[in-house]
Amino acid sequence: MKSISCATLALCVFAGFSCGSKETVSRSGGPPAKAAQTSPAPGKTTTTESKGINSVTEPGRFVHTTPAPVILKITNPKTAEEHLAVAIDRHMHNKLDEAIEEYKKALALKPNSALAHFRLGNAYDQKHNREAAIAEWKETIRLDPHYLDAYNALTVAYKEKGDLRTAAEYYEHLLEFPPARTVVHYRLGFWYKQLGDKEKARQHLESYIDLALNPRSKEAGTDRYQKAVRALESVKAKT
């Protein structure tokens, strides 16, 4: 089963495209979840611009939410699942040292938890311990070869280290996620062109263009498409 978080692919995956004109890089990619409409803070009014709807005039159209507890209270965690729950809670509250200790305790009881290894890697990365993070993400994909968020994290890590070839090799695994294929082929085409691998650059740029020309896609009308066409012509001219 493919593992991917609500954060790994907004069709932005790590290499995808932002809602604006610039391309962005994100460590966690995944299809975006639909945001629930929530009630405003006291004294504020939430509106829906297109229709002028607000939570005062039509309160039934907005969802009242209750804030999460300040911190999860499990006073004596014993199972791997309990330690993991505490770890995730501490992580969410930016208590990284406590989170790391709880992830380790969870893994001591359940060493084959891909989720615990992945999140431990994220915590290490937030602590600027990149090598420890990479080790955990690699263990994640060893345990679950379809854990796409881990491939995405490794892509970012190696790209930031200046190892574009290794980054590209990990990034290719995101082609397993169909909605991401357009942007992944696009980025890989340019990466392999930069690496001087003309054959792989050609393959990925052609795959991107084929997907962009799908009648259901609006990609062919973008500047990205024109840039890819020019890049493909350049690659073919040099082969």
pLDDT digits (tens, 9 = 90+) for 93-149: 999 999 999 999 999 999 999 999 999 999 999 999 999 999 999 999 999 999 999
Cα dist. 205→81, 87, 161, 188 in Å? Answer: 44, 42, 25, 8
Indicate the pTM of the whole model. Answer: 0.72
Reference 74, options 98, 50, 56, 38; nearest CA is 98
pLDDT digits (tens, 9 = 90+) for 178-226: 999 999 999 999 999 999 999 999 999 999 999 999 999 999 999 999 9
Q: Which residue has the tokens 């978080």?
A: 5
Sorted by sequence, the CB contacts under 8 Å of residue 134 that are 6+ apart come out as: 121, 154, 157
Pick from 4-8, 61-65, 141-145, 234-238: least confident: 4-8
Residue 52 pLDDT: 59
Split at pLDDT 50, 70, 90, the class of 36 is: very low
Rounded to an integer, what distance in angstroms lies between the CA atom of residue 221 and that of residue 35? 28
Reference 170, options 33, 12, 23, 27; nearest CA is 27
Split at pLDDT 50, 70, 90, the class of 90 is: very high
Return the amino acid letter for 134.
Answer: I
| C-beta separation of 118 from 137 below 8 A | yes
Return the amino acid letter for 85.
Answer: A
Reference 155, options 137, 139, 181, 142; nearest CA is 137
Spell 59-96 as b/e; 16+ CB within 10 A means b: eeebeeeeeeeeebeeeebeebebbbbbbbbbbeeebe
Rounded to 10°, the helix 148-160/164-171 angle is: 170
Q: Is 157 helix (H, G, I), strand (E, B) or coil?
A: helix
Mean pLDDT (the chain) is 81
Question: What does the pLDDT average to over 42-62?
Answer: 56
Residue 77 pLDDT: 83
Q: Which long-range contacts (CB under 8 A, 24 or more apart) does 152-159 make?
A: 152/8, 152/13, 152/14, 152/27, 152/28, 152/29, 153/27, 153/28, 153/118, 153/121, 153/122, 153/125, 155/14, 155/15, 156/14, 156/25, 156/26, 156/27, 157/125, 157/130, 157/133, 159/25
Split at pLDDT 50, 70, 90, the class of 2 is: very low
Sorted by sequence, the CB contacts under 8 Å of residue 28 that are 6+ apart come out as: 5, 7, 8, 149, 152, 153
pLDDT over 70, % of the chain = 70
Residue 64 zone, left/alpha/beta (φ > 0; ψ -120 to 50; rest): beta
Run of H or E including 53: strand 53-54
Residue 238 pLDDT: 76
Return the amino acid letter for 184.
Answer: V
